[in-house]
Amino acid sequence: MKIVKINSDDILDWNSFHEVFSSKFGFPSFYGRNMDAWIDCMESLDSPEDGMTTIHVEPGETLILELNNVTSLAKRNKEIYEAIVECSAFVNHRRIEVGEPPVLTLSFHRKNV
Protein backbone atom coordinates (compact mmCIF):
# COMPACT_ATOMS: atom_id res chain seq x y z
CA MET A 1 0.00 0.00 0.00
CA LYS A 2 1.34 3.40 -0.96
CA ILE A 3 0.06 6.71 0.43
CA VAL A 4 0.47 10.01 -1.39
CA LYS A 5 -0.38 13.08 0.66
CA ILE A 6 -1.65 16.25 -0.95
CA ASN A 7 -2.04 19.45 1.05
CA SER A 8 -5.35 20.79 -0.23
CA ASP A 9 -4.37 24.27 0.93
CA ASP A 10 -1.95 24.32 -2.02
CA ILE A 11 -4.87 24.00 -4.45
CA LEU A 12 -6.31 27.45 -5.07
CA ASP A 13 -7.59 27.15 -8.64
CA TRP A 14 -7.40 24.81 -11.63
CA ASN A 15 -3.88 25.90 -12.51
CA SER A 16 -2.56 25.12 -9.03
CA PHE A 17 -4.53 21.85 -8.97
CA HIS A 18 -2.74 20.65 -12.10
CA GLU A 19 0.62 21.93 -10.84
CA VAL A 20 0.27 20.11 -7.51
CA PHE A 21 -0.78 16.80 -9.03
CA SER A 22 1.65 16.96 -11.95
CA SER A 23 4.53 17.67 -9.60
CA LYS A 24 3.55 15.10 -6.95
CA PHE A 25 2.81 12.27 -9.39
CA GLY A 26 5.37 13.08 -12.08
CA PHE A 27 2.89 13.36 -14.93
CA PRO A 28 4.53 13.41 -18.38
CA SER A 29 5.47 16.63 -20.17
CA PHE A 30 2.53 16.17 -22.55
CA TYR A 31 0.02 16.12 -19.66
CA GLY A 32 -3.03 18.00 -20.96
CA ARG A 33 -3.87 19.83 -17.71
CA ASN A 34 -7.54 18.84 -17.78
CA MET A 35 -9.53 16.19 -15.95
CA ASP A 36 -9.57 13.75 -18.88
CA ALA A 37 -5.76 13.82 -18.87
CA TRP A 38 -5.73 13.50 -15.05
CA ILE A 39 -7.90 10.38 -15.31
CA ASP A 40 -5.61 8.91 -17.97
CA CYS A 41 -2.56 9.42 -15.77
CA MET A 42 -4.14 8.14 -12.57
CA GLU A 43 -5.55 5.09 -14.33
CA SER A 44 -1.97 3.95 -15.04
CA LEU A 45 -0.71 3.94 -11.45
CA ASP A 46 0.00 0.20 -11.64
CA SER A 47 1.46 0.33 -15.15
CA PRO A 48 4.89 2.01 -15.03
CA GLU A 49 5.46 1.02 -18.65
CA ASP A 50 2.75 3.53 -19.66
CA GLY A 51 4.99 6.41 -18.55
CA MET A 52 2.05 8.39 -17.15
CA THR A 53 3.29 8.75 -13.55
CA THR A 54 6.50 8.33 -11.60
CA ILE A 55 4.62 6.92 -8.60
CA HIS A 56 3.42 3.35 -8.92
CA VAL A 57 1.73 0.55 -7.04
CA GLU A 58 1.95 -3.16 -7.68
CA PRO A 59 -0.80 -4.68 -9.86
CA GLY A 60 -3.79 -5.43 -7.64
CA GLU A 61 -2.83 -2.80 -5.04
CA THR A 62 -4.44 0.58 -4.58
CA LEU A 63 -2.80 3.92 -4.00
CA ILE A 64 -4.27 5.94 -1.15
CA LEU A 65 -4.62 9.59 -2.10
CA GLU A 66 -4.70 11.42 1.21
CA LEU A 67 -6.13 14.92 0.84
CA ASN A 68 -5.23 16.95 3.88
CA ASN A 69 -7.28 20.00 4.87
CA VAL A 70 -9.93 18.89 2.41
CA THR A 71 -12.68 20.85 4.17
CA SER A 72 -11.01 24.12 3.21
CA LEU A 73 -10.76 22.98 -0.41
CA ALA A 74 -14.45 22.04 -0.50
CA LYS A 75 -15.35 25.50 0.83
CA ARG A 76 -12.87 27.41 -1.31
CA ASN A 77 -13.44 25.59 -4.60
CA LYS A 78 -16.32 23.15 -4.59
CA GLU A 79 -15.89 22.45 -8.32
CA ILE A 80 -12.35 21.12 -7.88
CA TYR A 81 -13.28 19.14 -4.77
CA GLU A 82 -16.18 17.47 -6.61
CA ALA A 83 -13.99 16.82 -9.65
CA ILE A 84 -11.44 14.97 -7.52
CA VAL A 85 -14.15 12.76 -6.04
CA GLU A 86 -15.96 12.10 -9.32
CA CYS A 87 -12.85 11.57 -11.42
CA SER A 88 -11.26 9.26 -8.85
CA ALA A 89 -14.41 7.15 -8.95
CA PHE A 90 -14.30 7.21 -12.75
CA VAL A 91 -10.67 5.99 -12.76
CA ASN A 92 -11.77 2.90 -10.85
CA HIS A 93 -14.98 2.52 -12.89
CA ARG A 94 -13.08 2.44 -16.19
CA ARG A 95 -10.72 -0.17 -14.82
CA ILE A 96 -13.50 -2.36 -13.43
CA GLU A 97 -15.33 -2.22 -16.78
CA VAL A 98 -12.36 -3.92 -18.46
CA GLY A 99 -11.81 -6.46 -15.69
CA GLU A 100 -9.01 -4.68 -13.83
CA PRO A 101 -9.10 -3.97 -10.09
CA PRO A 102 -9.55 -0.47 -8.65
CA VAL A 103 -6.29 1.42 -8.27
CA LEU A 104 -7.20 4.56 -6.32
CA THR A 105 -8.57 5.15 -2.82
CA LEU A 106 -9.38 8.58 -1.40
CA SER A 107 -8.73 9.53 2.20
CA PHE A 108 -9.89 12.88 3.52
CA HIS A 109 -8.43 14.73 6.47
CA ARG A 110 -9.43 18.07 7.87
CA LYS A 111 -7.75 20.45 10.23
CA ASN A 112 -9.07 20.42 13.74
CA VAL A 113 -10.44 23.85 14.50
Does the pLDDT at position 90 exceed 50? Answer: yes
- The model's pTM is 0.92
Q: How far is CA 89 from CA 10, 12, 42, 92, 106, in A?
A: 22, 22, 11, 5, 9
Q: What is the CATH number of domain 2-108?
A: 3.30.370.10
The DSSP 8-state label assigned to residue 32 in this structure reads: -
| Tens-place pLDDT, residues 61-78 | 999 999 999 999 999 999
